Amino acid sequence: MTRVYVSKDMAAVALGADAVAEALSAAGADVVRTGSRGLFRLEPLVEVETPEGRTGFGPVAAADAALVLDGSHPARLGDVSAMPFFARQQRFTFARCGVIDPLSLDDYEAHGGWRGLAAARGMAPQVAVDAVKASGLRGRGGAGFPTGIKWQTVHDAPGPIKYIVCNADEGDSGTFADRMLMEGDPFCLIEGMAIAGHAVGAERGYIYIRSEYPFAIRTMREAIARAASIVAPFVLEVRVGAGAYVCGEETSLLDSIEGKRGEVRAKPPLPAISGLFGRPTVINNVLSLAAVPFILSEGGEAYAAIGFGRSRGTMPVQLAGNVRNGGLFEVGFGITLGELVMDIGGGTDSGRPVKAVQVGGPLGAYFPPSMFDLPFDYEAFAAAGGLIGHAGITVFDDTVDMAHMARFAMEFCAHESCGKCTPCRIGSTRGVELIDRLIAGERRAPDAVERLPQMRNAAGGARPAGQEIELLRDLCDTMKFGSLCALGGFTPYPVLSALDHFPQDFGAAAPISSAAAE
Amino acid sequence: MSATRNDRSIAGDATHANDYAAAVARLVEDFGDEQSSLLPMLHALQEEFGYIDDLMVPTVASALNISRADVHGVVTFYHDFRRQPAGRHRVRLCRAESCQARGAAAIERIATERLGLRMGETSPNGRVTLDAVYCLGLCATGPNAMIDDVPVSRIDPATLDRLIEELTR
């Protein structure tokens, strides 16, 4: 019986992989469901096992099962891992994703699984923390805080009860790496969390997954059950979010697990000192924790050997939106934005020119192609008025209206604000109104208060566009520095970058002054 | 007070309240009676009954030894929890940036026209609820949707017609 591999990743299923798998099964093949390789243009991708290795075909329709099995299907790809998109990658974290059966403990072990955990358990906890420090790993959720230092803080915190929390509330549009890893290699995340537990002295872990990821929830739960005896005494539990974007913020995520409204907590105290249920807590992104098994099995130096400046190791970059080769591309830091979008991404899917790319999700800046020489690096992006975030890159062609996208950023912030701090809760709504007026070219008349005789300094007439822009920049400034968390604090990034780089989309309202210089 | 409650008789309310109490008692067995069980419990109740009836709130509050305000606050904070029954089928269209970059706005416009519903509305015959979702994590192959529990990518007007035809038939 011919063995074939078909992805059961949610993206592959959304493109019809289930029907393809059924058809192959009905045609007599032994179907193994894997995660996704990560190039979605090829999905549904079928790999047929041959004496020379796996031969890929994709995309495949359910009606083509026989053609795939007799090898005559026209979309023959040969060895998928040798395709340029995959050969150029450095897959440390995603080495197994798309290759193995995600829920097979045998597969996981045969592909290097549990070696990191075994190495960690052979070390004193402090030595394991030191290995993560030596790797230079920084938080992959977006903030880029050094993971080893966070672990050290929890390691040093007194108390008998500590927690490991995995932030799998991957709500940023343009990102899907957490989802792919949880669906394609769940044991890797479990191993990373068990290592963290050993390193800091925690016996209980939570994985908080957003409810929009039903496949990941199912796979993680099953994987936890299967690996329970291996990671014991460390105990893991999946918690499911409930559609609140702000719960991706670490402190509101903790409140959500505690059964409360997902409102942001003021920091300090840091979660590392007083986190879940008031206990010292390591809270890390999926990708940070999933990078740890490699670091422990291969050594922190091997991980740190790749990278750029203070950004060490690899980043699973996600190419999304209107891009030809959309998917997951894990590579060392330092690659330029242009290489990612044009060379690897292949430009837009629509074939039109790229107008803008948004890096780092709904709170990330929009960059024009003139800035494509930016190296992928936390510091370089910060200096350019943006952020790497969770490394999602959303590509837009020249039909996009950037004033509309700036408005959407404010609207999204208003929709998702937890309401705890004023700049975010109210500023976002005022921002929508301001941008609406700019788009419509309307002039706002003075309100009742401004017309009072006491308001001698209030402008008498309608505000001209220039003043409206000034007001928008001022509002962004307040949100940026006055908000409690990144939702209100980073919403100005897409708004101001759209304004700075694409002033023509805001009509006659040219930028009054640039905030990018800050 | 919600419309659904006004529609019901007092006897009907009592029956429902009994069902809810039994369900909550069962869920306390599964999840425990700590406040941290609140979200898993609400998810389970919504799974079983289709929505979070206001009548559930006092039962849940007393089972977890928290105030009704705490429960109400959580139910109304999270977008997933519905306080009204949804339609038999749920169509959720992604509205986030990556889907916008691939033409989601046009798909949303067509869907609202064909279904005669605005986003967030349920059809009068209770057949379909149309909702927005902000990212399903299928960002390279949009526009995306979840039709009940099935993800669908690369939605074009023809796919949309077929999906709507299947749901409204």
Mean pLDDT of all residues in A333-340:
97
Integer CA distances (angstroms), A77 to A47, A66, A68, A74, A83, in order: 9, 17, 11, 9, 8
CATH code for the domain defined by B89-168: 3.40.30.10
Which residues of chain A are in CATH 3.10.20.600 domains? Answer: 314-356+368-390
Percentage, residues of chain A above pLDDT 70: 98
Tell me the fold of A3-84: Glutaredoxin (3.40.30)
pLDDT confidence tier of residue B9, bands split at 50, 70 and 90? low
pLDDT tens sequence across A377-396: 999 999 999 999 999 999 99
Query: What value does the mean pLDDT take over residues A320-324?
Result: 97
pLDDT score, position A517: 40
Whether residue A33 contacts residue A6, with contact meaning beta carbons closer than 8 Å, is answered with yes
Cross-strand bridge partners of residue A357: A367, A395
Query: What band does A510 get if pLDDT is binned at 50, 70 and 90?
Result: low
Distance in Å, alpha carbon of A455 to nearest chain B alpha carbon:
39
- Share above pLDDT 90 across residues of chain B, in percent, rounded to a whole number: 86
CATH code of the domain occupying A402-506:
1.20.1440.230
| Backbone dihedral angles phi then psi of residue A324, each to the nearest 5 degrees | -70, -55
Are the Cβ atoms of B138 and A10 closer than 8 angstroms? yes
- Chain A positions in Cβ-Cβ contact with residue B31 (cut-off 8 Å): none
Cβ within 8 Å, pair A170-B40? no
- Each residue's pLDDT tens digit, B45-66: 999 999 999 999 999 999 999 9
d(CA A180, CA A178): 5
Per-residue model confidence as pLDDT tens digits over A145-189: 999 999 999 999 999 999 999 999 999 999 999 999 999 999 999
| Res. B17 pLDDT band, cuts 50 70 90 | confident
A434 neighbors A427 (Cβ within 8 angstroms): no
In chain A, the percentage of residues whose pLDDT exceeds 90 is 91
Measured between CB atoms, which of B38, B137, B151 is closest to A259? B38
Q: Note the pLDDT tens digit of each residue in A21-52.
A: 999 999 999 999 999 999 999 999 999 999 99
- Given pLDDT bands bounded at 50, 70 and 90, which one contains residue A515? very low
Read off the pLDDT band of B3 (50, 70, 90).
Answer: very low
Among B2, B91, B83, B89, which Cα is nearest to B42's?
B83
d(CA A458, CA A449): 9
Confidence of residue A513 (pLDDT cuts 50, 70, 90): low
User: CA neighbours within 13 Å on the CB side: how many for A431?
Assistant: 36
pLDDT tens digits for range A186-216: 999 999 999 999 999 999 999 999 999 999 9
Which chain A residues have a beta carbon less than 8 Å from that of B137?
Answer: 10-11, 170, 175-176, 178-179, 212-213
Distance from CA of B11 to the nearest CA of A (A): 32
A514 pLDDT band, cuts 50/70/90, is low
Q: Does domain A314-356+368-390 have CATH number 3.40.50.300?
A: no
Query: According to the model, what pLDDT value does residue A466 have?
Result: 85
Tell me the nearest-neighbour CA distance from A49 into chain B, angstroms: 27
Yes or no, beta carbons of B81 and A242 under 8 Å apart: yes
Please judge whether B35 and A258 are an interchain contact, meaning their C-beta atoms are less than 8 angstroms apart. Answer: yes
pLDDT at residue A143, rounded to an integer: 87
Q: Using the beta-carbon criterion (under 8 Å), do B79 and A243 form an inter-chain contact?
A: yes
- Position B5 scores a pLDDT of 46
Q: What angle do CA B93, B98, B103 make, to 5 degrees?
A: 65
Burial (0-12, 13-18, 19+ Cβ within 10 Å), B124: exposed
| Interface contacts A/B by beta carbons within 8 Å | 152
Residues of chain A with CATH 1.20.1440.230: 402-506
* Start-end of CATH 3.40.30.10 domains in chain A: 3-84
Residue A209's nearest CA partner among A232, A251, A237, A174 is A237
Rounded to an integer, the average pLDDT of B111-120 is 94
The class of domain A105-304 in CATH terms is alpha beta
The pLDDT of B73-89, averaged and rounded, is 95
Residue of B102, B150, B154, B155 to mutate for A, most A C-beta atoms under 10 A:
B102
Which position has the token pair 């960059």? A367
Position with higher pLDDT, A229 vs A446: A229
ipTM (interface pTM): 0.93
Average pLDDT over residues A133-156: 96
Asked if A262 contacts A256 with a C-beta cutoff of 8 angstroms, the reply is yes
> Taking the model in full, what pTM does it have?
0.95
pLDDT of B112 reads 96
